[in-house]
Amino acid sequence: MNILGGSVRDLCAWCAHVLVKVELRARPAFGGSCGENWHRGANRYNRLFGATNNYRLCVPAIIPMTHDEILSWLRQSDEARLADLWRSADDTRQKYVGGDVHLRGLIEISNYCIRLCGYCGLRAPNQSVQRYRMTFEEIVACVRQGEAIGYGTVVLQSGEDPGITADAMVHLIRFIKSETPLAVTLSLGERSEAELAQWREAGADRYLLRFETSNRQLYERIHPSRPGGPADRIELLRHLKTLGYEVGSGVMIGIPGQSYGDLARDIALFADLDLDMIGCGPYLAHPSTPLGDPNRPAIVPGEDQVPNSELMAYKVIALARLVCPRANIPSTTALATLNKQAGRELGLVRGANVVMPNLTPPQYRQLYEIYPDKACINETAEACHGCLAGRIHSIGRHVGSGRGDSPNYRRREE
């Protein structure tokens, strides 16, 4: 069976995608009328090979979307059309990654950072932040708590902190992997290839590194290079894959200076990188940062600037699901911050399948302030879990068990 419910026949001689036969009455997986993505495929085929009573539609495992199609969805404001997008993303999520929502226990192990990112409250020059670095014992206590609650993964996250040494991480990863069944995800910024290899060898399973924007100029403006030259996060992501990590990346939505075209290219890059995990959250201004200055002049013309809105965040989640159907996609805390009542749930019914409850001890959690007024800042780990499980059940979904590896990664490794 294929995504439209037709039977797989053979490969298209024209583009090598899987050929399927679809009854005229079949509901399209994407769009709803002639000229939309799915019909265009049929029309192309019919032009080349002649129409039949049934549509013979060339459907790849991933429906390719052109830059213009992505762009048009990003600019779409018609609610009925957007309802099609939400439904398509939700159907695709159900088909490729199922109904389980995987919970990842997030531990923010250090808020030290040597970088100067223009949007982030943890940037090195921000003197108003009280800095902390958790001890081995404190981290292990959080890991044990996550295991007891029933999480299958812990995410160890920090600013770019050279005080977290390669050897200390090796020791910690080895401990977690030998003492618990948990998967370990690292999110420690741009580290050297040697360190990344050491940590993978020690047993780390996954690495998260957002590329934030595919527009190189914008990236360098918001994320100045370290002394010693620019780092190429895209190259680093490709390298992480060669080391055998499950690889996650993503973008901020509505960064000042981000155009619709930039964001459409970001989404296409998700597919090009064949990402296993995709995290996208709205840009939220921090007052102690250069980008948070309300008097900062606009960088792109108003009508071309992507808004950092809740709606735009849902569109990006839905489109990410359509271009990378097997990826694990979180409904992010930044989204829950924009809409505390229903942001997480709406993300989950528009393509997402992961949530990251916070295991960081409350006294540190408040200090990990990339942006202000973060959701779930005061809850205990148990309360956070109970709240999220209730929200997941309220939309008819279930909390996943086990590690919840990305089906995309599993497919690649088979």
**160 counts as binding ligand SF4 under rule CB under 6 A:** yes
Please, what is the minimum distance in Å from the beta carbon of residue 193 to ligand SF4?
Answer: 18
**Residue from 107, 120, 202, 291 binding ligand SF4 (CB under 6 A):** 120
Please, what is the minimum distance in Å from the beta carbon of residue 164 to ligand SF4?
Answer: 12
**385 counts as binding ligand SF4 under rule CB under 6 A:** no
**159 counts as binding ligand SF4 under rule CB under 6 A:** yes
Q: Which residues of 165-193 are buried (b: 16+ CB within 10 A; e: fewer)?
A: ebeebbebbebbbeeeebbbbbbbbebee
Q: Segment near ligand SF4 (CB under 6 A), from 41-49, 111-119, 373-381, 382-390?
A: 111-119
Q: How many of the other CB atoms lie within 10 Å of CB of 247?
A: 27
Closer CB to ligand SF4, residue 289 or residue 331?
Answer: 289
**218 counts as binding ligand SF4 under rule CB under 6 A:** no
**113 counts as binding ligand SF4 under rule CB under 6 A:** yes
**286 counts as binding ligand SF4 under rule CB under 6 A:** no
Q: How far is CA 216 from CA 95, 158, 213, 245, in A?
A: 35, 24, 7, 25
**Residue from 39, 102, 123, 200 binding ligand SF4 (CB under 6 A):** 123
CB 267 within 8 A of CB 70: yes
Tally of helices (H runs) and strands (E runs) in the chain? 15, 11
Please, what is the minimum distance in Å from the beta carbon of residue 360 to ligand SF4?
Answer: 14
Helix 233-242 and helix 193-202: axis angle, to 10°?
Answer: 30
Q: Segment near ligand SF4 (CB under 6 A), from 86-94, 115-123, 301-309, 316-324?
A: 115-123
**191 counts as binding ligand SF4 under rule CB under 6 A:** no
DSSP helix/strand/coil, 212:
strand
Closer CB to ligand SF4, residue 215 or residue 353?
Answer: 215
**122 counts as binding ligand SF4 under rule CB under 6 A:** yes
Measured torsion, CA atoms of residues 333, 336, 342, 343, in degrees rounded to the nearest 10: -80
Measured torsion, CA atoms of residues 299, 374, 103, 149, in degrees rounded to the nearest 10: 160
**155 counts as binding ligand SF4 under rule CB under 6 A:** no
Number of residues that bind ligand SF4 (CB under 6 A): 10
Please, what is the minimum distance in Å from the beta carbon of residue 201 to ligand SF4?
Answer: 24
CA angle 63–263–377, rounded 5-degree value: 105
Q: How many of the other CB atoms lie within 10 Å of CB of 59?
A: 24
Q: Segment near ligand SF4 (CB under 6 A), from 27-35, 66-74, 110-118, 341-349?
A: 110-118
**108 counts as binding ligand SF4 under rule CB under 6 A:** no
**C-alpha to C-alpha distance for 165 and 147, rounded to whole angstroms:** 25
**41 counts as binding ligand SF4 under rule CB under 6 A:** no
**Residue from 21, 40, 87, 115 binding ligand SF4 (CB under 6 A):** 115
Contacts made by residues 287-294, CB under 8 angstroms, sequence distance 24+: 287/372, 288/121, 288/126, 288/128, 289/117, 289/118, 289/119, 289/120, 289/121, 289/123, 289/126, 290/118, 291/118, 291/119, 291/222, 291/255, 291/256, 292/119
Q: Segment near ligand SF4 (CB under 6 A), from 21-29, 109-117, 387-395, 399-407?
A: 109-117
**118 counts as binding ligand SF4 under rule CB under 6 A:** no
**375 counts as binding ligand SF4 under rule CB under 6 A:** no
* Residues 313 to 372 in contact with ligand SF4, rule: CB under 6 A: 370
Two tokens at 225? 């290079």
Q: Which residues contact 47 (CB under 8 A, 6 or more apart)?
A: none
Two tokens at 92? 């695709």
**C-alpha to C-alpha distance for 384 and 151, rounded to whole angstroms:** 12
Q: Segment near ligand SF4 (CB under 6 A), from 116-124, 141-149, 310-318, 321-329?
A: 116-124
Please, what is the minimum distance in Å from the beta carbon of residue 220 to ligand SF4?
Answer: 13
**279 counts as binding ligand SF4 under rule CB under 6 A:** no
Give the closest residue to 116 by CA, choosing from 220, 233, 249, 228.
220
Please, what is the minimum distance in Å from the beta carbon of residue 290 to ligand SF4?
Answer: 12
Q: Segment near ligand SF4 (CB under 6 A), from 4-12, 19-27, 119-127, 381-389?
A: 119-127
Q: Segment near ligand SF4 (CB under 6 A), from 93-101, 118-126, 335-343, 378-386?
A: 118-126
CB 385 within 8 A of CB 103: yes
Query: Which residues of the shown chain bind ligand SF4 in the complex (CB under 6 A)?
Result: 113, 115, 117, 120, 122-123, 159-160, 189, 370
